[in-house]
Amino acid sequence: MNKVLYTLSAMLGLLIIILLVNTVLFTSKQVSVSPLELIEVDKQAVASRLSNAVQLKTVSNQNSNEFDATAILQLHQHLANSFPQVHATLEKTVINQFSLLYKWNGINTEQKPVILMAHLDVVPIEPETAPQWEHPPFSGLISDGFVWGRGTLDNKSNLTAQLEAIENLIKSGFRPERTIFLAYGHDEETGGEQGARAIADHLKKQGVQASFTLDEGMMIVDKKLSPIKKNTGIIGIAEKGYLTLKVLAREQGGHSSMPPEKLTLLTLAHAIESLVSNQLPASLSGSSGALFDYLGPEMPFLQKMLFANRWLFEPVILMVLERQKTTNAMLRTTTAPTMIQGGVKENVLPSQAHVLVNFRILPGETPQSVLAHAKKVIDDPAVEVQIHQSSSTPPSRVSRSDSEAFHLIAKSLRQVFPGTVITPGLLLAATDSKHYETVADDNYRFSPFTLGPDDIPRIHGNNERIGLEDYAKMIQFYVQLIRNTADL
Ligand SMILES: [Zn+2]
């Protein structure tokens, strides 16, 4: 008996040692930067150029016939007027009439270029929400330290901040070491087929293979929202795919006075239940694993120990993270029944009924693998499962979080936002980046502004705005990033 006890306590001791060693070796991955002087920004002047861009209603509606060509062309003109040095120095190519590609030739043409991205279009305003805006959505009003209006976060601030940065650098006599492309699509909000995809095809034809693209996507999350209670800059290294399945049930119809045992709506209900209760598995590897590699070391000791020993604690961690909808969505392909249809009259049993189920696909899975999973878990000959219309996009590839380019973005960020913890992460929405996988080694998704607790609903929502201080920092970030590309 003593021997058993002795063996058990020795094993326990060994386990504790392993856990502690792993925790001690789980060290910070944050780049250290020395303080440096950032460029001076004339906050009022830059805000008024952003404001003018916001006032142009470059709206992408679901119906592409409602596209306002005049507004996009006015935006081109506004950029030309506002950034004369950029337009005198960079080569500008208009793609598909409305998208813009600029090329700033680097000194060293041997080195791979860098592509900075943004988009010219914005989402519409729901007419019934217009009265809820504190200032009219296309006023571009500068008030209370903010520029207000649709596009101030998504995505005209990225657009004009990049151009402000380059205008500033040219004026100071700077020449980039490597070539910088600026790629501005005009239809990101409807998928980017006419804009980003065409720009990427154009670059490919020119034989361009960039080091990386940097597009909108994630941002700095305010400490109040961050799990580590420090401002956290999340650099998106991947984005989820999209799929809608149509699940159709068929049983015998007829008069509702004599219902049979097998009812169409019940069969459909069982199918929904099967899908929701047998979701695709959650995982701590891939892009979510990368997030915890970076955030784990910044956590208090006990949490740090959990993440340093995922080989043991993964089931516990998953159980906790799956309970919250935001973290759950980072870990798995999500399943969301969204629309249902069936029946024509209250006293008629429907012979068929269907539900649409929307999935956001985790990198590593595909629309086909999700379809196969759905068929398997429903497993009912009375139910047909198919991809709805053409609504499927595979997830993006996962870009590297150990590349020089990732390091460079992280360094630029910490130079402009000292103390911010940087981590790679998975973007739950879609961007134009997916079109650039073949023209760049890596695709990163990050907008250099800080999102506070009440800011998330502003994106694509009401009262979108950006602080003048925040906007100045965006410009400083792009300046720093371009300067740093010499060290890639
Ligand atoms: Zn956007």
Q: Active-site residue numbers? A: 121, 188
Worst-scoring range by mean pLDDT, 70-74, 229-233, 390-394? 390-394
Over residues 412-465, the pLDDT tens digits come to 999 999 999 999 999 998 999 999 999 999 999 999 999 988 888 898 889 999
User: How far, in Å, from the CA of 7 to the mean position of ligand 1?
Assistant: 59
Strand segments, DSSP code E, in 283-409 are: 334-342, 348-349, 352-361, 383-393
pLDDT category of residue 1 using cuts at 50, 70 and 90: low
131's CB contacts (< 8 A; 6+ apart) are none
Average pLDDT over residues 85-108: 98
* CA distance linking residue 217 with residue 214, whole number of Å: 9
Report the interhelical angle of 43-55 vs 69-82 (nearest 10°): 160
Q: Residue count of the chain, please give it.
A: 488
372's CB contacts (< 8 A; 6+ apart) are none
pLDDT of residue 386: 97
Look at residue 96 and give its three-state secondary structure: coil
User: How far, in Å, from the CA of 120 to the mean position of ligand 1?
Assistant: 9
User: How far, in Å, from the CA of 216 to the mean position of ligand 1?
Assistant: 6
Structural domains in the chain, sorted by start: 43-219+396-487 (3.40.630.10), 241-393 (3.30.70.360)
Burial 261-276 (b: 16+ CB within 10 A, else e): eebbeebbeebbebbe
Tokens of 38: 């950032």
* CA distance linking residue 335 with residue 276, whole number of Å: 6
Tokens of 111: 């080195």
**CB of 153 within 8 A of CB of 216?**
no
Average predicted confidence (pLDDT) for the chain: 95
H-helix segments, 187-300: 196-205, 264-277, 286-295
Over residues 121-150, the pLDDT tens digits come to 999 998 888 899 999 999 999 999 999 999
pLDDT category of residue 243 using cuts at 50, 70 and 90: very high
Over residues 228-237, the pLDDT tens digits come to 999 999 999 9
User: How far, in Å, from the CA of 189 to the mean position of ligand 1?
Assistant: 7
pLDDT category of residue 281 using cuts at 50, 70 and 90: very high
User: How far, in Å, from the CA of 345 to the mean position of ligand 1?
Assistant: 43
**CB of 179 within 8 A of CB of 105?**
yes
* CA distance linking residue 99 with residue 308, whole number of Å: 46
91's CB contacts (< 8 A; 6+ apart) are 102, 103, 105
Over residues 336-369, the pLDDT tens digits come to 999 999 999 999 999 999 999 999 999 999 999 9
User: How far, in Å, from the CA of 62 to the mean position of ligand 1?
Assistant: 15
* CA distance linking residue 238 with residue 236, whole number of Å: 6
* CA distance linking residue 417 with residue 400, whole number of Å: 22
* Whole-prediction pTM: 0.93
Tokens of 469: 């201080």
Task: Name the residues around ion ligand 1, CB cutoff 5 A.
Answer: 154-155, 216
284's CB contacts (< 8 A; 6+ apart) are 292, 310, 314, 317, 318, 331
User: How far, in Å, from the CA of 154 to the mean position of ligand 1?
Assistant: 5
Percent of the chain with pLDDT over 70: 100
Degrees (nearest 5) of the Cα angle 402, 477, 186? 90
Over residues 169-208, the pLDDT tens digits come to 999 999 999 999 999 999 999 999 999 999 999 999 999 9
Diameter of the chain measured on Cα atoms: 87
